[in-house]
Amino acid sequence: MTLFNTLVSGIAAALVVGLSPQGPQEVQSREHILDRDGQRLVLWEKHPGQLHKKSTRVVLLLHGATWSGRPCFDLGVAGYSTMQAFAQEGWDTFSLDIQGYGRSQDPRGENVSEARDAIEDVKVAVDAIRELRGVKRVDLLGWSWGSQVAGLFAETYPQRTGRLVLYGSHWQPLEGAPPPPTDRFRSNSREAAASDFVPGCYEPEVLEAFVAAALAADPDSPNGSLRDYLGNMPVQHPRRISRPTLVILGEHEAASKMKDQLAFFAALASPDKRFVIIPGGGHGVHLEQTKERWRGAVLDFLSAVN
């Protein structure tokens, strides 16, 4: 069986034109259907201008515990799509739906998409991207539980990993955590979709658009992420992460996570590392009013010369 089978669901013209140091960047989109041992994985792509086989700016975005790639990173509100913004700045940008999320197939058997299983989904996506773009390594950005997956992938497959962004992460076990769930899936709610937005830091229409998109894409989610947080922490091990790493948090989240994340940062094996706090936002600052500060910090790190 081939590494992947690409399904083009439509190549869309750019919705807007961005301001890039290289000039205006038209953005095009396409969907790829990948195969992992007979299971369907869906990879969404946005790239600038004319598609070229060879690219030196390639990043894969990994969603968090509840919502899939497109609601998180390609929200259909002007100015609020992370993928659109990155592509306008010259980045070939991908987001993966891990099994059980979005348009990817539900996991089978004992697999409930814990991070240890999810990294094998990521490996399939990374290998597909490497073949598509002719690169040895792919940069990774993980948000929330996606940072657990990204960090574990980087320590397991360093030869496939470029630069690493851990956004809204957590390291050590949670104090007073309840037992992990035994159910395979959980139902999602409006309250869950709105919970990452900090009052006073977001535009109401953005929250409403995100809630609608998130619930449409993910009415339920696999409980592997909760098993990680409630039973498997620490999932990632900083002393094993040798790739260049950015740890980034929103201001209103940093207060509760500062001690944990500073200890993680200090223990990172890579000497090439940054710790950034973005003012005026919380766990989902990339969808809030200071999103441009977040994007600037992430792209500045990803653009650094190795």
pLDDT tens by residue, 179-189: 999 999 999 99
Q: Is the pLDDT of residue 305 over 60?
A: yes
**Cα distance from N-terminal residue to C-terminal residue, the chain:** 35
Q: Note the pLDDT tens digit of each residue in 71-127.
A: 999 999 999 999 999 999 999 999 999 999 999 999 999 999 999 999 999 999 999
The pLDDT value recorded for residue 55 is 75
| Count: domains in the chain | 1
Mean pLDDT of 128-142: 96
Q: Is the pLDDT of residue 141 over 90?
A: yes
Question: Which of these, 142, 174, 173, lies nearest to 155 by C-alpha position?
Answer: 142
Cα–Cα distance, 228 to 221 (Å, whole number): 14
DSSP string, 175-197: TTPPPPP-SSEEE--HHHHHTTP
The secondary element (H helix, E strand) that includes residue 250 is strand 245-250
User: Could you tell me the CATH number of the domain that includes residue 258?
Assistant: 3.40.50.1820
Cα–Cα distance, 101 to 80 (Å, whole number): 21
Q: Model's pTM, two decimal places?
A: 0.91
Write b or e for each residue in 245-272: b if 16 or more Cβ atoms lie within 10 A of its Cβ, otherwise e. bbbbbbbbbbeebeeebeebbeebeeee
DSSP string, 91-157: -EEEEEE-TTSTTSPPP-TT----HHHHHHHHHHHHHHHHHHHT-S-EEEEEETHHHHHHHHHHHH-
As a whole number of angstroms, the longest Cα–Cα distance in the chain is 52
The secondary element (H helix, E strand) that includes residue 276 is strand 273-278
The pLDDT value recorded for residue 88 is 94
The pLDDT value recorded for residue 53 is 62
Express as a percent the part of the chain with pLDDT over 70. 90
**What's the full length of the chain, in residues?**
306
Q: Note the pLDDT tens digit of each residue in 22-80.
A: 444 689 999 999 999 999 999 999 999 876 566 789 999 999 999 999 999 999 999 99
**pLDDT greater at residue 23 or residue 211:** 211
State which residues form the domain around 43. 4-302
Give the 3-state secondary structure of 134-151.
CCCCEEEEEECHHHHHHH
- Residue 3 in tokens: 């590494």
Mean pLDDT of 229-243: 97
